[in-house]
Amino acid sequence: MEILWFLLALCMLAVIVGPIMLRRRGGVRQVAPGSPDAADPENYGFVRQEELDIRMPGPDQDLLDVLAVVQGTQEWRAASQLLAGTPKESEIRWQRVQAFAGAASLELAQRPGEGGAWLRKWRAEAPKDAGGAAVHAEFLVQQAWRTAAVGTEDFRIILEEAHTVCGEAALLAPGDPVPYIVELAVARGLGYSHEQFDQLWAKVIDRAPAHMGAHIAALHFWCEKWHGSAELVDRFATAAAARAPQGSLLAALPLFALYENLPEVNLVQGFYRGAVVTKAVGGAMFAVHAARADDPVLAHVRHLLVFFLVRMERWSEAMHQLVHIDGHVGALPWIQDSDPAAEYTVYRALAVAGYEANGGSPATLPQ
């Protein structure tokens, strides 16, 4: 699939670049859209690929500071304090739990047997710490999906352990939706029945009815690849968007549902300019405009918008989203790729090329 996308990107760049390579204006050479000069991130203030942060969808300086301390000292207390001071029902708590778990998982992958020692110490020295239990549960989920083949005995064993730790975390923090959100991924892997899922989902929405991260996680369960169908996914997303509070990014959920149901290979000409995609993108754009500037889910929606806007060849709008999110790539759709930074960079280069092919420049970059 990565090879297919790479070839597709090259073809798209060639289509844009070819007719414009020899263009001149006012006697001054115009840089060809798609050329290394035009796509240089420094021209637009964008971050170079090797410097992109794959851990988070957007900035969270408090988290970065704590991660630096924890990973530098291998001591867990700063992480515990940060989570203890983060509101239980907030989107950012869920993101921080994911980030801590991901950091431990990455350490373990880089240094087998040694990496992530701070998380093991956290659980051993403070077994009743709710934050540590939640991070441990999410760590196990990430390990299962990243390191074990789906459906194997190892995969099931890791998720069974994650299920147990989710239960411990829920007992340690009544009212916290995060342990139940973590369990949504367990439900997907272990094949919960619809009845079991409904019971789990009721616990989530009782605690955080408008939690965007929870709804995105639930989409994975309903996705056709696992238990439901495209119709079920769309129905779930549409219902959630319809009852979303004013200013809530739940209004963008149908775009995530559409992404979940994208075919592996699209053979329909004009699919990305069709009514279904246009409607979903329009809803997400409206949600972005109505949301608070500091909404921690905003970056998630903007990342997915870049994916669709580039495919729709709506270059200026794609660039507008890139201005807000560049520097961080820890979000859908990039994290679905084995190299999120590289995947994101391809789309960013396409957006720059298309933008310049239509008269754009760093001086006219939309803010």
Model pLDDT for residues 17-76, shown as the tens digit of each residue:
333 322 222 333 333 444 444 456 678 899 999 999 988 899 999 999 999 999 999 999
pLDDT at 20: 30
Decide if 140 is inside a domain. yes
In CATH, what number is assigned to the domain containing residue 120? 1.25.40
Q: Classify residue 356 by burial, with Cβ atoms within 10 Å: 0-12, 13-18, 19+.
A: buried
Decide if 123 is inside a domain. yes
Decide if 81 is inside a domain. yes
Of 315 and 231, the one with more pLDDT: 315
Q: What is the pLDDT of residues 183-238, one digit of tens each?
A: 999 999 998 988 999 999 999 999 999 999 999 999 988 885 666 677 888 889 99
Alpha-helix residue ranges (DSSP H) falling in 150-274:
153-172, 178-190, 194-207, 212-222, 230-242, 253-260
Decide if 73 is inside a domain. yes
Instruction: For residues 138 and 159, give the distance between their C-alpha atoms in angstroms, rounded to a whole number.
Output: 10
Q: How long is the chain?
A: 367
Question: How many domains does the chain fold into?
Answer: 1
Instruction: For residues 329 and 331, give the distance between their C-alpha atoms in angstroms, rounded to a whole number.
Output: 6
Of 4 and 294, the one with more pLDDT: 294
CA angle 112, 118, 122 (to 5 degrees): 130
Pairing of strands 28-29, 24-25: antiparallel
Decide if 230 is inside a domain. no
Decide if 138 is inside a domain. yes
Residue-number span of the structural domain to which 100 is assigned: 61-205
Decide if 4 is inside a domain. no
Contact 145, 189 (CB under 8 A): yes
pTM for this predicted structure: 0.84
Instruction: For residues 36 and 41, give the distance between their C-alpha atoms in angstroms, rounded to a whole number.
Output: 9
Grouping H, G, I as helix, E, B as strand and the rest as coil, residue 28 is strand
Grouping H, G, I as helix, E, B as strand and the rest as coil, residue 328 is strand
Instruction: For residues 124 and 120, give the distance between their C-alpha atoms in angstroms, rounded to a whole number.
Output: 6
